[in-house]
Amino acid sequence: MNGRIEVVVYTPRDRRFLQLAWIDPDGARRFQSARTTDPDQADRARADLEYELNHGAYRRPARLSWEGFREALEAEALPHKAPNTRKTVRRALNLFERLARPGGLAALDARTVARFHTAMVAEGYAPRSIKTYLDSLHGALAWAVDPGGLIAAVPSFPDVIVPPQRPRPLPAEHYEHLLERAGQLRPLLELGWHAGLRIGEAARLCWEETGREPWVDLEAKRLRFPVGGQKAKREDWIPIAPPLLAVLEALPREGRRVVPLFRQDGSPVKDSYRTDYADKRFRELARGAGVRATFHGLRKAFGTRYAARVPAQVLQRLMRHSSIAVTLAYYCDLGDAMIEAVNTSFNSDPADLAKPLENKGSAKAGG
């Protein structure tokens, strides 16, 4: 034997997929699923595995428990994610544990994932939620493959079709109703309605530059967003609309935060809890006002109002999205924008709709 490891493909009697087999230098027989029933695909997998084995690139999947995997994920992967991402991943993994009851990490396969999917459907989870949880689980298992090296491959995941959902901007009358009861939360609502801020941005907005948090530049009449605190990971700014400017200039400057938040005992809310506490207070306000609303509805209303007034590229900058597709798909109800655009173009005489558009080049073209 020349020391080279050779991998062969064989068809097992009790397995669905073709299998790969080889003998380690220590004489032990090893097996691995090719994860396919197609002989050509299995042969390509055989060639790849053989190359990895003979060039020191193969990492044998560890027989790690699910609990051990979660500990490794918490220690090595999640600390580098955004807070909301960490929450979503933890929620997805907790649900996966309850519904699919995974055993060892190496034993997790496509059937386990399919069982999770089926259980979520049976419990009445919406397609969008199902897709979010499956995507979070897939991302965690992808980390276990690379760079974690804890499993050989991510199992197959089912495709989830999510019906398109029209944006639901908060109606103006609901916003006015909330303002009547807002009290100390009024600046928070104004920032969502007139500037389209996310609730975390509004809750953390500062009077002066800190290097990471959004802040008010009254001299330039701009709201500025440093790269460290931006979802899109770039420095940005938007102009302050006149109604919001009037609100900000009238506010007292007590501390560095534009929106003061206090608990019932009068103690200030800690910075690490400001976003969650502001969201909680807003939901309480909406329930008390009898309005079905989320703070994101304010942001969507902001985008919808401007959709009829500014070009798409300006709207994208105002919303601070990395892609105009995100802006148009999730944050703007273009129905009102289309109606306003048509009415504005033909506001002199409805009969203009029947007139053909003038083609200045027609005379030349026709000779």
Q: Could you tell me if 336 and 308 are in contact, meaning their C-beta atoms sit under 8 angstroms apart?
A: yes
> Are residues 247 and 218 both part of a single domain?
yes
Q: Which two tokens stand for residue 345?
A: 């173009």
Cα distances (angstroms) measured from residue 159 to each of 98, 99, 122, 128: 21, 19, 17, 12
> Are residues 196 and 293 both part of a single domain?
yes
Give just the sign of the alpha carbon dihedral 5, 10, 13, 14.
positive
Q: What is the pLDDT of residue 96?
A: 96
Residue ending a domain, choose from 130, 145, 160 = 145
Closest by CA position to 223, among listed 255, 253, 191, 250? 191
pLDDT in tens, 268-305: 888 888 999 999 999 999 999 998 888 999 999 998 88
Which range of residues forms the domain containing residue 78?
Answer: 66-145
Confidence class for position 349, pLDDT limits 50, 70, 90 = low
Residue 367 lies in a domain: no
Q: Which two tokens stand for residue 327?
A: 């802006």
> Are residues 42 and 86 both part of a single domain?
no
Q: Provide the whole-model pTM.
A: 0.58
* Mean pLDDT on 325-335: 71
Structure letter (DSSP) for residue 104: B
> Are residues 96 and 194 both part of a single domain?
no
106 backbone dihedrals φ, ψ, rounded to 5°:
-65, -20
Q: What is the pLDDT of residue 299?
A: 93
Number of domains in the chain: 3
- Please report how many Cα atoms fall inside a 13 Å half-sphere around the Cα of residue 154, on the Cβ side: 18
> Are residues 50 and 73 both part of a single domain?
no
> Are residues 198 and 339 both part of a single domain?
yes
- Identity of residue 118: T
Q: Burial letters for 249-287: b for 16+ Cβ neighbours within 10 Å, e otherwise?
A: eeeeeeeebbbebeeeeeeebeeeebbebbbebbeebbe
pLDDT in tens, 38-82: 889 989 989 988 888 888 776 565 567 888 888 888 888 888 887
CA distance 122 to 118: 6
Cα distances (angstroms) measured from residue 118 to each of 35, 113, 224: 22, 9, 45
Q: Select, from the ranges 49-53, 92-96, 342-346, the one with the highest average predicted confidence (pLDDT).
A: 92-96
Asked if residue 355 has pLDDT above 60, the reply is: no
Residue 245 lies in a domain: yes
> Are residues 45 and 114 both part of a single domain?
no
Q: What is the pLDDT of residue 359?
A: 45
Closest by CA position to 291, among listed 168, 167, 124? 168
> Are residues 311 and 221 both part of a single domain?
yes
